[in-house]
Amino acid sequence: MAPVLAAAALLVAACTGGDEPTGPTDADDPVDGTTSLDPAPTTDESDPTTSPPPDEAAATSGPPVGAGLPEGPLTALVVGTDGRGDDPAGRADVVVVAQLSADHDALTLVSVPRDCLVEIPGVGPDKVNAAWALGGAPLLEETVSDLLGGLEIDLVATSDFVVFEDLTRWLGGFEVVNRHASTATDAEGREVVFPEGRIRLEGAEALAYVRQRQGLPLGDLDRAERHRAALLGMTERLAQVRAEDPARLLELLPLLRDGVDLQGDLGLPELLALVEVGSRLGPEGITSLSVPITGFGTTATGASVNLLDEARLAELAAGLREGDLSGYVATYGAGYAPTGG
């Protein structure tokens, strides 16, 4: 999960740096490789005394995927800021809860859009990203946990869009299915055209793709869909890298160490286990959705906010606490349009 979680962290962080709110009309706003990282034990197939039967061979082929990880679902808070390096300044424009299932077969990503009006402990009602500005990762973690009914968060991962570009280059690019043709400008001032259909992304163009809001039918909601599309593409590419050269996955560790601030109890052995788990997850194992909102509003001070669908949010929160959102998704789907409730 580490590369998948990192991909999520770096992907959602990539859309930071802008200051437009999430309202769509607001102007300011698997290739499941079979080669393990650990070499498989060797046997002499010509000697029946040294060749274990199939069932025994499977049992002796090494530890199960994810061995060493804590029991139960693993939940991370992924934070994307526009700060750089060791600079603590910046906005937490992206907040995502990433949960790995207890059986390590599924990853669920739940966005908390930055303009969601939430209750910040000790502060009161405000946009969720204000928690970061007022109290950094600890207050943001507490805010999101409270929002989701006391959800236990095991890990907080913070990154910025610079490392996202580095990760796309490490992958050698990735492909997405682009829903809406558009034109954007990358960080170097070049115009980039994104035609409808399957396209390949890397570096500055990938960053421009996941950051674009203007020119899309639902603005920031479509931008969030692009995050999910990019995550799937990066996951597919990661699986290809694993199948072609599994040892190369170890190259991810310095990138994660230097580019992602991890706060939690996971050490190097757990990160290695997460790399293995993440490299085996295919697109069908990832569910991506957002906390439900009824629509958009304006505060007394004129700030644009997302209004939460409290009833539906309670159901989503219960599913996360149980480590299983399949019932919620079966009832409501994974769409991101306002519920209007």
Give the angle 108-32-154 at the CA atoms, nearest 5°: 30
Sign of CA dihedral 51, 53, 56, 59: positive
Yes or no: say if 305 and 127 are a contact pair by the CB < 8 Å rule.
yes
Whether the CB-CB separation of 120 and 108 falls below 8 Å is answered with: no
Q: Bridge-partner residues for 18, per DSSP?
A: 16
Say how far apart CA 145 and CA 136 lie, in whole Å.
14
Helices (H), the chain: 2-14, 54-59, 129-147, 161-171, 203-211, 220-244, 252-259, 268-280, 310-322, 326-332
This prediction's pTM? 0.74
Q: What is the DSSP letter of 235?
A: H
Domains of the chain, start order: 2-329 (3.40.630.190)
Question: Six-digit token pair at 119?
Answer: 């209750």
Buried b (16+ CB within 10 A) or exposed e, 239-263: bbbbeeebeebeebeebbeebbbbb
Across 129-234, the runs of DSSP E, i.e. the strands, are 155-159, 174-178, 182-185, 191-194, 197-201
Residue 38 is which amino acid? D
pLDDT in tens, the chain (341 residues): 344 454 444 443 343 333 333 344 333 333 233 222 233 333 343 443 333 443 333 333 444 545 567 678 989 888 877 655 455 456 777 788 889 899 888 888 898 888 889 999 999 999 898 999 899 899 999 999 999 999 999 888 887 777 788 889 999 999 999 999 999 999 889 999 999 999 999 999 998 898 887 898 877 677 778 877 887 788 788 878 878 888 887 787 787 677 777 777 766 666 667 666 766 766 678 888 899 989 888 888 888 888 999 999 999 999 999 999 999 999 999 998 899 86
